[in-house]
Amino acid sequence: MADFLQQVVSGLASGGVYALLALALVLIYRSTGVVNFAQGEMAMFSTFVCWELIDRGLPYWVAFFATLAISFAGGVLIERLVVHAVSRAAAITVVTVTIGLLIMLNGAAAWIWKGEQRTLENPFGTRTFDVGGVVVAVQDLGILVVSLALVAALWVLFQRTRLGLALRASALNPESSRLHGIRVSWMLALGWGLAAVLGAVAGMLVAPTQGSFDQNLMLPVLIFAFAAAVLGGLDSPLGAVVGGLAVGVILNLVGAYIDFFADLRLPAALLVILAILLLRPHGLFGRAAVRRV
């Protein structure tokens, strides 16, 4: 039993990691209607920025918040310079641009930071405690708490503020939003900026869980974050977190207890998600609305 619970706990821990990036994906999808393939690389880039700031002598928390600010500016800049230019094009064009960003950011990080293994401080410390034979790490709890706090913050933003309303409106119906005096194109830029901030949080918290990181930090995480976001519902922040945790637990249980799937954790988890999607085509918490990819 302790074994089983340990599998669940470690699944929740890796799920927390997927959830963080999935939240950023959901935010950008919800506020701009784009599935952003560069989300992981933006997060990776932010993580390197944080590393660089610490390397130049800034204290951790100063570097942390400075990175959030820089990432926000970077996200807005990307939207203004690149994404905005194709905002009226077909979905495939927008997707292709985010793929171009993915490739470019990965290359730029390899160029600037030389592809070396770097380490980033873990803000939650390395302590663990034992609950009836099941080991729980403070770091993993910290990641879970942060992702839930972010869900709450996003809920407040989207449901309780005028800004959030404007964000949702411009994603759903740019034309009529414009008629209502919303500066739609700035709302989209704001959406990218906020998603970059969430990505930065994800990157800075995920990197320590991996021991060390290089420019490929987020490529595998992105795959699971997509799975998480789809499972939870692409437009639901809560769904992203629940989806992330579910993906983490499913991966572990399927891999650990069904021998046939021991080498097939990844395909098996994707199969389970597909099966769930067939029952709920818009994810666990998503709402049916036809929008572009």
Partner 1 sequence: MRLLGVISLVFSLAAGAASARPAADPGVSRGEVVIGGTIPLSGIAASYASVGRGAEAYFKYVNARGGVFNRRITYKYLDDQYNPAQTVQATRQLVQQERVFAIFNTLGTEQNLAVRSFLNAAKVPQLFAGSGATTFGRDYRRYPYTIGFLPSYVGEGKVYARHILRTKPNAKIAVLYQNDDYGKDLLSGFRTGLGAKRRNIVATQSYDPLSTDVSSQIARLRSSRATVFVVIATPPFAIRGLVAANRLGWRPQVYVNQVGAATNIMRIIAATAGPRIIQNAVTLISVKDPTSPRFRNDAGMRLYRQIMRQHLPSGHVNDGFHVYSMAVAHTFVEALRKAGRNPTRASLMRAVASLNVRNNPFLLPGVRVRTSARDHFPLDQGQLQRWRNNTWNPLGKVISARP
Partner 2 sequence: MLAARTAIRVLGLALFVAVVVVVPSRISEFRASEFALIGIFFIAILGLNILTGYTGVISLGHGAFMAVGAYTTAILMLGRPGLEAGGLSPPDWLPVGDGMKDVYTIPIAALVAALAGALFGLPALRLSGPYLALATFGVAVATPSVIRKFDSVTGGSGGLNLFDSPNLTGAIFNAVHVPGGRTLTFNDWLYYLTWTIALALFVVAWLIHHSRLGRALRAIRDDEIAAVASGVGLAWHKTLAFSLSALYAGVAGSLLAMSAFSVQPGAFPVDRSIALLVGLAVGGLGSLVPLVAGAVFLVFLPQWAQDLSQAPGVPAVIYGAVLIGLMIVLPTGVGGLLRRVLGPLTSRLYPRSQ
User: Which residues inside 196-255 make contact with partner 2, applying CB under 8 A?
Assistant: 215, 223, 226-227, 229-230, 234
The DSSP letter of residue 280 is: S
We find the least distance from the C-beta atom of residue 217 to partner 1, in angstroms, to be 9
We find the least distance from the C-beta atom of residue 244 to partner 1, in angstroms, to be 12
- Per the CB < 8 A criterion, the answer to whether 248 and 240 are in contact is no
Site for partner 1 contains 6 (CB under 8 A): yes
Size of residue set near partner 2 by CB under 8 A = 56
User: Which residues inside 107-126 make contact with partner 1, applying CB under 8 A?
Assistant: 107, 110, 114-117, 119, 122, 126
Among 51, 192, 224, 285, binds partner 1 (CB under 8 A): 224
User: Which residues inside 258-287 make contact with partner 2, applying CB under 8 A?
Assistant: 263-264, 266-267, 270-271, 273-274, 277-278, 281-283
Give the separation between CA 192 and CA 212, rounded to whole angstroms. Answer: 27
Please say which residue, 179 or 275, places its beta carbon nearer to partner 2. Answer: 275
**CA of residue 110 relative to chain centroid, distance:** 21
The DSSP letter of residue 129 is: E
Please say which residue, 3 or 153, places its beta carbon nearer to partner 1. Answer: 3
126 interacts with, out of partner 1, partner 2, none, CB within 5 to 8 A per kind: partner 1
- Per the CB < 8 A criterion, the answer to whether 212 and 197 are in contact is no
Looking from the CA of 72 toward its CB, the CA atoms found within 13 Å total 7
Site for partner 2 contains 20 (CB under 8 A): no
User: Which residues inside 45-64 make contact with partner 1, applying CB under 8 A?
Assistant: none
- Per the CB < 8 A criterion, the answer to whether 47 and 207 are in contact is yes
Give the separation between CA 79 and CA 187, rounded to whole angstroms. Answer: 10
Q: Which stretch binds partner 1 (CB under 8 A): 61-69, 177-185, 217-225, 226-234?
A: 217-225
143 interacts with, out of partner 2, partner 1, none, CB within 5 to 8 A per kind: none
Give whole-number Cα distances, 106 to 71, 74, 99, in Å.
Answer: 16, 15, 11
User: Which residues inside 100-139 make contact with partner 2, applying CB under 8 A?
Assistant: 100-112, 114-115
User: Which residues inside 67-96 make contact with partner 2, applying CB under 8 A?
Assistant: 82, 85-86, 88-93, 95-96
Residues that bind partner 1 (CB under 8 A): 3, 6-7, 10-11, 13-14, 17-18, 107, 110, 114-117, 119, 122, 126, 128, 130, 135, 137, 208-212, 214-216, 219-221, 223-224, 251-252, 255-256, 262-263, 265-266
Residue numbers at the binding site for partner 2 (CB under 8 A): 29, 35, 37, 82, 85-86, 88-93, 95-97, 99-112, 114-115, 215, 223, 226-227, 229-230, 234, 263-264, 266-267, 270-271, 273-274, 277-278, 281-283, 288, 290-293
